[in-house]
Homo-oligomer: A and B are copies of this chain.
Amino acid sequence: MNPAPSSASLDHLVKLLGKLPGIGPRSARRLALHLLRKKETLMLPLASTLAAVAEAVTACRQCGNLDTTNPCSLCRDPMRNARVLCVVESVADLWALERSATYKGHYHVLGGVLSALSDTSPDDLRLEQLQARCQGGQTDEVILALSATLDGQTTAHYIASLLEELPVTVTRLAQGVPVGGELDYLDEGTLSAALLSRLPV
């Protein structure tokens, strides 16, 4: 099915847009036409920003965050506590934690979680770097901020056992009722976790 038979380059653009996650052929055609309608305000700025970001942004050699500087601006920030490391699966999770504006320590991006299904082994994750950062007494605490899924929790346990011998405290995120969550709509697992971790008022 040829979406834009009249122009090979337009056709190529639609194909590339269709490779983006969550964008099917129909959305790709819609995006291409929208971009062509907003040539000056969106299409050209997007083209140059994509090229500039692809050129400038690299993974921080210390924490794995994406930034134009290396080490990244979070690792270089003197206001942040370098003695606490927050272990996250991906940069998306790092961003989510930054949006909550609660955490003022450093990060460690694993680049995935252990998973039998997607064939991710410990060697695929940045675990050696994490061990190195926990040795030599520069780190007091490692917070495991991994998803409350099977793979996330498997990875959390694996890391906890990995760091057992090292002089760091390993903690994990609390589980319970989400803010704004209605009890009636919560699953049994969350409710029972919230009940077991109940706190004095």
Cβ-defined contact, B33 with A92, below 8 A: yes
Complex contact A6–B65 (CB within 8 A): yes
Say which residue of B10, B56, B74 sits within 8 Å of A57 (CB atoms): B10
Q: Say if the beta carbon of A166 comes within 8 Å of chain B.
A: no
Residues of B within 8 A of A4 (CB): 66, 95
Chain A positions 7-52 with a Cβ under 8 Å from a chain B Cβ = 7-10, 12-13, 16-17, 19-22, 27, 29-36, 39, 42-52
Residue of B whose beta carbon sits closest to that of A74: B6
Q: How many monomers of this chain does the complex have?
A: 2
Option from B7, B33, B56 in Cβ contact (under 8 Å) with A67: B7
Contact A29 B66, beta carbon cutoff 8 Å:
no
Query: A178 near B: Cβ within 8 Å?
Result: no
Task: Determine if B36 and A31 form an interchain contact, defined as CB atoms under 8 angstroms apart.
Answer: no
A 89-110 to B, binary, CB cutoff 8 A, 1 in contact else 0: 0111001001100000000000
Q: Is the interface of A mostly helix, strand, loop or mixed?
A: helix
Of B9, B35, B50, the residue contacting A43 (CB under 8 A) is: B50
Inter-chain contact B50/A54, CB cutoff 8 Å? no
Find A9's partner among B6, B7, B16, B49 (CB 8 Å cutoff). B49
Verify A7–B49 contact, CB threshold 8 A: no
Given A2-B99, A31-B21, A90-B33, verify A7-B50 contact (CB < 8 Å): no
19 example contacts (A-B, Cβ-Cβ < 8 A) are as follows A3-B99, A9-B53, A16-B45, A16-B49, A19-B42, A20-B35, A22-B31, A29-B92, A29-B95, A32-B53, A33-B66, A33-B90, A35-B54, A36-B57, A39-B54, A43-B53, A43-B54, A44-B54, A51-B51
